[in-house]
Chains A and B, each alone.
Chain A
Amino acid sequence: MSFAMHVPILAIAAPLLGAFSLPLMAKVHHRLRDLWAIIVGAFTVAMIVTLAVQVFGGGIQVYTLGAEAPDATLGPEGFPIRITLVADAMGAFMALISALLGGAALVYALGFAQDGKGKTLSMSLLLLLWAGMLGLKLTGDLFNFFVFLEITTVAACGLIAYRVWESRPPEAAFKTLVMFILGGLMVLLAVALLYGEYGALNMAYLSNQIGGGLIDRMALGLLVGGLLMKAGAVPMHMWAPDAYGEADANTAIVLVANTQAGLYGLLRMLFTLYGGAATPEVGWLITSLGALTVLVTVLMAVVQHRLGRLVAYGAVSQIGYMLLAAGVALVTVGARPEFGQLALQGSVFHMINDAACIGLLFLCVGAVHRATGTGDLRSLGGLAHTERWTSGFFLLGALALAGIPPLNGFASKLMIYQSVFMLSPILAALAVLASILLLAVFVRAFQGAFLGPRQNVVSKPPSPAMLIGMGVLAAVVIAFGLFPDVMVRHVVAPAAEALWTGRDAYMAAVLGG
């Protein structure tokens, strides 16, 4: 009983402590370091799954730090003065995504990263980024939201830049870091404004107080702007293709999870914090930015000739689909029609589907790099002769990303198309068109890299650890594609519901009554 109550904080503490103890383990022996990474990763995943079971089975879990009992959220005067962690269905769902990508990245890194080339530090930063994302997703306190945002910023940019002996990674990291710091400062400014007005930082308490005055609107604008920077939406997307394209494969997939954490923050602020005061104008803004993101990034993907950057633009375009659907839900949140709820479910479902198929594609790009030492489509070719597993996984990921049935990308994209069509047929047509274009781009990439005559290059096959990492994501792609109904009914619908109508339950869980 007592252990089960402490699961939310253990899920954050395990990767945080693991990150700082990993270099110490590496001083002893590199085998011990690998073993320690596996132990920490497995424990974190176990904690997240336990938390998800608790939340989906028994409702919102609240944990108060420093209180006599974890559920004593209120201070002596009935005011939530302590820092709280609040795990509702949406938070638990996002934690599951980070478990999927963080776990796969850690296993892949064991076989992919090289000793003597920063393997210890990259694994350590990976765990730190994981801890930051989990904190971001589970915190119920606005200032801690900012602190965890900055932890992910530092860890993510450290991960992008750690190959310092090359010239491109530090450049990509500098660009990303400037955007992330600016975004973080906008969030901090919003926090300061809200604190100045209401004298509180607890999200449930604030959401009870926020009425939609001038200060509230200014704070909302700053929050939306800052978190869109973090999520990499057009026109603040400049950093994303560079960061994804220059980072290692295992880093890139955790960066995808990090981007989604930014998107989660946006949804949490709009639906939970501002649920009563969010206006349709904000919804239209998000919708149009989403549509713009989809179009611009898919068109940019067409002209790429480096495999990593091509997949990177694909990754940013998927964020556009999520924004598009979330915007539709936000436009309709006042009237609460059926299709608004469907849009939100599509957006939420697309997050985990995107995590699986984009993650798989990035891991394949890493395997291609390792096999041939290059990612340039103009010099690659005929890899399918030697790299059977990698080419199979790449094809699977590309088809899922473009939304071909019966793979998982189709299941969620169909929900997005249907709901967007109800709001605006033109936007839905644009979304379908972008998806077809994306398919063309990836078919060309597949043809260029994997098909064609065998080339006489010394090829290095992926190690078993890399295959396990890719296999896990491929299994998710196929399983969610074949049984989307099970997934939607048991996991996605409760998560979307937590945003759509769960605001009162969220407040009641923290404030009581």
Chain B
Amino acid sequence: MIGNLPFVAAMVLVVLGLWTLMTRRNLIKLVVGIVLIENGVNLLLVSLGYVRGGVAPIYTYAPEGTPVDIPMVMPTPQALTLTSIVIGVATTALLLTLAVLIHRHRGTLDVRKIRELRG
């Protein structure tokens, strides 16, 4: 049961993020919502690779005389998560830049007041 907690936490983060996106009207809070979803997905990815009692997946550094039945942690999900975090930083930076630009032009961050593009 306790092993499933990371997955539950990931789902909670995603749902919180979606809820933020749907209910908030401030551009910065929308960005926060997206970052929440992103973190939820990253948490799911990294929990997928967890192996109880596993060792680092580097053959040359494995403990001396490692028996075959000590499993190694999956390296792929960690690489994926790192990549995804880096991508997330880039997209978040772009989102915040755009929010700053919009604020500079319109003087507000409220989406209800900025919708110049409609229809």
Q: B-contacting residues of A (Cβ < 8 Å)?
A: 143, 146-147, 150, 153-154, 157-158, 161, 164, 167-168, 170-175, 177-178, 181-182, 184-185, 188-189, 191-192, 195-196, 199, 201, 242, 245-246, 300, 303
* Residue count of chain B within 8 Å CB distance of chain A: 32
Known contacts A154-B90, A158-B94, A178-B30; A170/B102 CB under 8 A: yes
B residues 56-100 near A (Cβ < 8 Å) are: 74, 76-77, 80, 83-84, 87, 90-91, 94-95, 98-99
Measured between beta carbons, the chain B residues less than 8 angstroms from A147 are 83, 87
Bound-state Cα–Cα, A242 to B117, Å: 7
Known contacts A182-B34, A188-B41; A171/B116 CB under 8 A: yes
Bound-state Cα–Cα, A177 to B101, Å: 14
Does B105 belong to the interface (CB within 8 Å)? yes
Bound-state Cα–Cα, A161 to B98, Å: 8
Known contacts A143-B80, A192-B48, A303-B119; A174/B27 CB under 8 A: yes
Contact indicator A178/B87 (Cβ below 8 Å)? no
Contact indicator B87/A150 (Cβ below 8 Å)? yes
Known contacts A157-B94, A181-B91, A196-B48; A171/B102 CB under 8 A: yes
Known contacts A143-B80, A150-B87, A182-B37; A171/B117 CB under 8 A: yes
Does B55 belong to the interface (CB within 8 Å)? no
Contact indicator B117/A192 (Cβ below 8 Å)? no
Residue of A whose beta carbon sits closest to that of B100: A170
Q: How far is the CB of B71 from chain A (nearest CB, A)?
A: 13
Measured between beta carbons, the chain A residues less than 8 angstroms from B76 are 195, 201
Does B25 belong to the interface (CB within 8 Å)? no
Does B16 belong to the interface (CB within 8 Å)? no
Contact indicator A192/B44 (Cβ below 8 Å)? yes
Other than the given A146-B84, A168-B117, A189-B41, 17 more pairs (CB < 8 A) read A153-B91, A167-B116, A171-B102, A171-B114, A172-B117, A174-B27, A174-B99, A177-B95, A181-B91, A182-B21, A184-B91, A185-B37, A188-B45, A189-B14, A192-B48, A195-B77, A242-B117
Measured between beta carbons, the chain A residues less than 8 angstroms from B98 are 157, 161, 170, 173-174, 177
Contact indicator A170/B105 (Cβ below 8 Å)? yes
Contact indicator B117/A174 (Cβ below 8 Å)? no
Measured between beta carbons, the chain B residues less than 8 angstroms from A174 are 27, 95, 98-99, 102
Measured between beta carbons, the chain A residues less than 8 angstroms from B99 are 174
Does B106 belong to the interface (CB within 8 Å)? yes
Measured between beta carbons, the chain A residues less than 8 angstroms from B44 are 189, 192
Contact indicator B105/A167 (Cβ below 8 Å)? yes
Residue of A whose beta carbon sits closest to that of B90: A154
Name 27 A/B residue pairs within 8 A (Cβ), A-sorted: A143-B83, A146-B84, A147-B87, A153-B91, A158-B94, A167-B105, A167-B116, A170-B98, A170-B101, A170-B105, A172-B117, A174-B99, A174-B102, A178-B21, A178-B34, A178-B95, A181-B34, A184-B91, A185-B37, A185-B38, A189-B41, A191-B80, A192-B41, A192-B45, A195-B48, A195-B77, A303-B119
Q: How far is the CB of B39 from chain A (nearest CB, A)?
A: 10
Measured between beta carbons, the chain B residues less than 8 angstroms from A195 are 45, 48, 76-77, 80
Q: How far is the CB of A57 from chain B (nearest CB, A)?
A: 35
Measured between beta carbons, the chain A residues less than 8 angstroms from B74 are 199
Q: How far is the CB of A387 from chain B (nearest CB, A)?
A: 27
